[in-house]
Amino acid sequence: MTVEFDSSPAFAGFAHPERLVSTEWLAEHLADPGLVIVESDEDVLLYEVGHIPGAVKVDWHTELNDPVTRDYLDGKGFAALLSAKGISRDSTVVFYGDKSNWWAAYALWVFTLFGHEDVRLLDGGRAKWESEGREMTTEKPRRDTTDYPVVERDDTTVRAFREDVLDHLGAPLIDVRSPEEYRGERTTAPAYPEEGALRAGHIPTARNVPWSRAAAEDGTFRGRDELEAIYRGEAGVAESEPVIAYCRIGERSSHTWFVLTHLLGQENVRNYDGSWTEWGSAVRVPIARGDEPGEAPAPR
């Protein structure tokens, strides 16, 4: 059962407007059968402070990751998680969260690895909903558990590994971190602790387009024309080319993956979730520093 799409004119220019919902739309559809709202935040306690009525929490750190190996949960784990959350294979899932939907986009991307069909993002995220004075509650919803099927994770379509990136060098690669991280002045976003990588810089040939450039002041996505100018114009991503995006651990680049895939309609966009915490610590991978993308090393 598919919940109707948000037909706001604001979204009409996007390649896949059905992937976005506005706060107005969500406020009117809170009780729709077949709709599940998922909150995913950087701050793991934020949901408990108050959330959109009916929303369930998905914790990126404890629920989407494998507890031991650096990887996502497997098909069985995903089925168990979604069954417990009361999400069915045909549910419409609307994601939202803090930090302009970084983590919400990340959760949406993980759901995509398992081919969950109807995933949408709340434009503007938690901050917009709150700033409009819309209803929040601390009451946790009681959803009946479901019987979500075991679907094997597809790591070939929207996910890239280090080897894929090495083979990809020379083709469009987008580094969505801050300019300071890109230039190699630091390994984490400004105001974040230094952590996680032994070398600073960027993957040679990567263009730096900080993820936040896709967002307007209020956290909503910029319009199609502005996004085209940034990604096709400045970053030079042609429509037909495969693209890989990366950041520090793959969360900010999920946001850019969403923009390229669903708003601009780019085919073949992959998120390199190993990102800088892997690349910046790996032995003998090429690294470039400074403002220039740098040259691709000779093919392996």
User: Residues binding other proteins: what is the number (CB under 8 A)?
Assistant: 16
Query: Smallest distance, Å, CB 118 to other proteins?
Result: 28
Our finding on whether 193 is near other proteins (CB under 8 A) is: yes
Query: Smallest distance, Å, CB 136 to other proteins?
Result: 12
Environment class of residue 30 by beta-carbon count within 10 Å: exposed (0-12), middle (13-18) or buried (19+)?
Answer: middle
Our finding on whether 191 is near other proteins (CB under 8 A) is: yes
Whether 247 is catalytic is yes
Q: Round to whole Å and give the CA distance between 189 and 295.
A: 24
Our finding on whether 46 is near other proteins (CB under 8 A) is: yes
* Closer residue to other proteins, CB minimum distance, 25 or 96: 96
Catalytic residue chosen out of the listed positions 94, 160, 245, 247: 247
Given a contact cutoff of 8 angstroms between Cβ atoms, the answer to whether 93 and 118 are in contact is yes
Question: Which helix (DSSP H) or strand (DSSP E) does residue 225 occupy?
Answer: helix 224-228
Q: Round to whole Å and give the CA distance between 156 and 160.
A: 7
Q: Round to whole Å and give the CA distance between 117 and 119.
A: 6
How would DSSP label each residue in 176-222? -S-HHHHHTS-SS-TTS---S-SS-SB-TT-EE--GGGGB-TTSPBP
Query: Smallest distance, Å, CB 235 to other proteins?
Result: 27
Given a contact cutoff of 8 angstroms between Cβ atoms, the answer to whether 56 and 73 are in contact is no
Our finding on whether 48 is near other proteins (CB under 8 A) is: yes
Our finding on whether 192 is near other proteins (CB under 8 A) is: yes
* Closer residue to other proteins, CB minimum distance, 14 or 211: 211
Which of 67, 133, 142, 144 binds other proteins (CB under 8 A)? It is 67
Question: Among the candidate windows 23-31, 43-51, 113-121, 288-296, which touches other proteins by CB under 8 A?
Answer: 43-51
Our finding on whether 173 is near other proteins (CB under 8 A) is: no
Query: Smallest distance, Å, CB 45 to other proteins?
Result: 4
**Pairing of β 35-39 and β 159-160:** unpaired
* Closer residue to other proteins, CB minimum distance, 172 or 210: 210
Question: Which helix (DSSP H) or strand (DSSP E) does residue 249 occupy?
Answer: none
Could you tell me the strand order of the sheet in which 119-122 lies? 20-21, 119-122, 92-96, 35-39, 56-57
Could you tell me the strand order of the sheet in which 159-160 lies? 159-160, 269-272, 243-246, 173-175, 207-208
Query: Smallest distance, Å, CB 60 to other proteins?
Result: 8
Our finding on whether 61 is near other proteins (CB under 8 A) is: yes
Our finding on whether 195 is near other proteins (CB under 8 A) is: yes
Interface residues with other proteins (CB under 8 A)? 42-46, 48-49, 61-62, 67, 98, 191-193, 195-196
Residues labelled as active-site residues: 247
